Amino acid sequence: MSSYFTDLAQQYIDGEWRPGTGSWDIIDFNPYDDEKLASITIATVDEVDEAYRAAARAQKKWAETNPYARRAVFEKALRLIEEREGDIAEAIIAELGGTRLKAGFELHLAKEFLREAIQLSLRPEGKILPSPVDGKENRVYRVPVGVVGVISPFNFPFLLSIKSVAPALALGNAVVLKPHQNTPIVGGSLVAKIFEDAGLPAGLLNVVITDIAEIGDAFLEHPVPKVISFTGSDKVGRHVATVCASHFKRSVLELGGNSALVVLDDADLDYAVDAAVFSRYVHQGQVCMAANRVLVDRSVAEEFTEKFVAKVRTLKAGDPRDPQTVIGPVINSSQADAISSAVEQALAEGATALVHGTRTDNLVEPSVLTDLPAGSPLLQQELFGPVALLVTFDGEEEAVRLVNDTPYGLSGAVHTANIERGVGFAKRIDTGMFHVNDGTVHDEPIVPFGGEKHSGIGRLNGDTMLDSFTTTKWISVQHGRSGFPF
């Protein structure tokens, strides 16, 4: 595993591993023990340009390649991940503080999404549409957009890079990937290495490890990419969308959330507790779909709260390398500061801490807060950390209002003994995804994934990848002679 952080601490442009030419380095730290994993000289605007130009050169031939031949690359990439799974898991644990459970979860999904990319290679279909003009044949072709720029986040970097990179490549595009500065290896160069070893032709996937302090908006504004796929915060997503729109580019935005898990009066409370604890605390709460808010009907709130708090107290925080650890470190000190500040803000507003976790460096233990005032800003925002907000409600109508009272609309869940009651509840929630009698954290390769409101624009997964990474082209053929009015 450690060789990843030495061998892959470079840029990958046009099939070559090379150092950046910037004047400073990105230092890659282990967030748990602050060990220096790698030092990577950043890419400049010139290297971003070189990466995009290389992608543009390689893409035309790739698009003309038989899709069955393209498919073979993804089959090989899947085998390589399976062979190297242990080393990749260790890299996930080291670079982003993921627990062993989380590393396994991320790798499982990454393999599932690669399996879908294998199928996606063969999925674009054309159409022949009728015309009101005699003798005219309307052909509609589904063609690659060309070059896709992918910006991936730090929380599930391996999965969320592959989730956009693999479908874009499978559909005949080339890609330039910019991983998050905190996860440059797992989210960037490791992905490139797997595809290189799988036989992907040079230039089709390029990785630039850099920072906006160095390149500004060059990654977004460059004339080559036609689509930017961004996963991250809504604040940055708004900027990405604005820049893309001003340059007539398509943006696919998978942004933050403020999901709620709702416990109705007829729910199985033990099961709801299990779902809620997982949905809030998986990967230290650093998940866009995480249940920031746990809403409980007042008639069952006392019993639920007692069981929920008891289970949270059993979650072991510590070294993510320990298989017993459930709560590892958050990604960096800024994130730890933000979480600690949010808890103190809630307490200052009059909230009660049923569990008040301590902080040691980047290790933030779980907290459970209740009695937040109705107007608290914390109920409106995304808490990217291990802090649960318990909120009671009186009846379904109030629950619907509370769930929707947020600028976000990504995921959510409701627990009830009546399935159709749950489905009816879900239909009233302004989110892209909602789950009945389950957790809030789900992603499946063929089901459309995405949010409403500030949680994003567009969808990923399955056939929606065709909408994201291809475009349509109308070619008409006139059989015989057409008539013209002059």
Residues with catalytic roles: 254, 288
Distance CA 403, CA 262 (A): 8
Per DSSP, the residues of 434-473 read -EESS-S----TTS-B--EETTEES-BSTTHHHHHHEEEE
Nearest CA-CA partner of 378 in 415, 409, 338 = 338
Handedness of CA 390, 450, 336, 30 (dihedral sign): positive
What letters, b where the CB count within 10 A reaches 16 and e where it falls short, cover 319-333?
A: bbeeeebbbbbbbbe
Distance CA 157, CA 285 (A): 15
Ordered alpha helix ranges (H), 84-217: 85-96, 100-120, 157-170, 190-197, 212-215
Q: Are 258 and 291 in contact (CB under 8 A)?
A: no
DSSP secondary-structure letter at 135? Answer: T
Distance CA 351, CA 73 (A): 54
Q: What is the H or E stretch that residue 356 is in?
A: none
449: number of Cβ within 10 Å: 23
Distance CA 459, CA 465 (A): 7
Distance CA 292, CA 169 (A): 34
List of residues 6+ apart from 24 with CB closer than 8 A: 41, 42, 214
Distance CA 285, CA 293 (A): 12
